[in-house]
Structure 1
Amino acid sequence: MGAKGAETRQRMIEATRHSIERQGYFGTGLNQILTESGTPRGSLYFHFPGGKDELVAAAVGQTSGLIDAALDAADFTDPAGAVSGLITLLGERLEASGWENGCPVATVALEVAGTNDAVQQACAQVYARWTEALRVILRTAGYRDADDLAVSLLALVEGALLLARTHRSRDPLDRAARVARALL
């Protein structure tokens, strides 16, 4: 695939990523993606022969970059600071978006993980990456229960994002950050 093809593919992924995070899987239509990305319909099936599911799976995989980068940059000697920093980053992003950009994976996972294998696998891979990154941070800091704690912290962050988005308030995130600090 040439540079132009790669650019077209990336525009479709970005349009999908933007839409699924705000509107979910079912609220995102192919016509909307094509319009927002400025690409012709033929490009969709050329780049994503599996159609919407393949495109959404690719978008889910790329949308995790924000959290991946935050976890990669975390101070491994301060797990509480790393989790609090992640919560702060996501809270700022959520509030700046008018309470529309919550977790880049959760909206889709909640809708289709039970019924769509391709999208479920993409969501599971992202969550596994985040859990592993947290586990490594915790293990490096000396926590013996790092596996359980990593899953619990990710669940805490995800739940706080959902509540913050629902209440349109940073309060659930602030509370989650305090609990994370208490746990760690």
Structure 2
Amino acid sequence: MGLKGAETRARLLDATQELIEGGGYFGAGLNQVIAASGAPRGSLYFHFPGGKEELVGESVRRAGQEIGATMGELAEATSSVEEFVAGVLDWLGDRLEQSGWRKGCPVATVALETAATSDPLQEICSEVYTGWESALRELLTGREDADDLAVTILALAEGALLLARAHRSREPLRRVGRQIAALLR
């Protein structure tokens, strides 16, 4: 694929990610993706012959990798798990607030809307969450409860994002951050 093709594909994925984060799977119609990306309709089917399901799946996978990379950077820049979790929650809060409370988790909405009806999307959402759990588990190495804590931290962060978005307030993220710190002590 040439540079122009790669740029078009990236624009389609960027537009899809923006739309699904703001309105979920059903809020990201193909006409909206085409309009938001500026790409011709034929490019969508060229790059994503599986249609919307493939496009959304790749967008979720890509968003998961981006958040995973940010988590990796924060892990390297912090000296404790508590500091890492606080940094992640703060970054997610910044992202959410700066987007006008539209950008919560790029995986959660798609998982909630499609996990029961689309095996490929369910598998991609599961893959992303498993990757994030693994990253958390690595930070908790040496703890007997690392598996349980990794899932607990992820679930608390996801719930806090949902509540922060619903309330248009960072307070749920702060409160969950304090409880996670207490769990880690």
Same fold (TM over 0.5): yes
**Is contact 1:135–1:146 with CA below 8 Å preserved after alignment?**
yes
Q: In structure 1, which of residues 88, 111, 118 is the aligned counterpart of residue 90 of structure 2?
A: 88
**Is contact 1:84–1:177 with CA below 8 Å preserved after alignment?**
yes
Q: Which residue of 2 aligns with 1:171?
A: 171
Question: In the alignment, residue 167 of structure 1 is paired with which amino acid?
Answer: H
Partners of 2:71 and 2:183 in 1: CA distance: 18
TM alignment of 1:118-157, pairs within 5 A: 118-139=120-141, 142-157=142-157
Whose RCO is larger (CA < 8 A, sep 6+)?
1
Q: How many residues align?
A: 182
1:77 CA displacement: 4.6
4+ runs deviating over 4 angstroms: none
Q: Which residue of 1 aligns with 2:32?
A: 32
Identity %: 58
Partners of 2:82 and 2:125 in 1: CA distance: 25
Partners of 1:105 and 1:77 in 2: CA distance: 28
**Is contact 1:71–1:134 with CA below 8 Å preserved after alignment?**
no
Q: TM-score, normalised by structure 2?
A: 0.95
Q: TM-score, normalised by structure 1?
A: 0.95
Q: Deviations over 1:115-169 (max 9, x none)?
A: 1111111111110110000000111xx2121111100100000000001101111
Partners of 1:39 and 1:46 in 2: CA distance: 11
Structure 1 gaps of 5+ residues are: none
Q: Which residue of 2 aligns with 1:22?
A: 22
1:23 CA displacement: 0.6
Structure 2 gaps of 5+ residues are: none
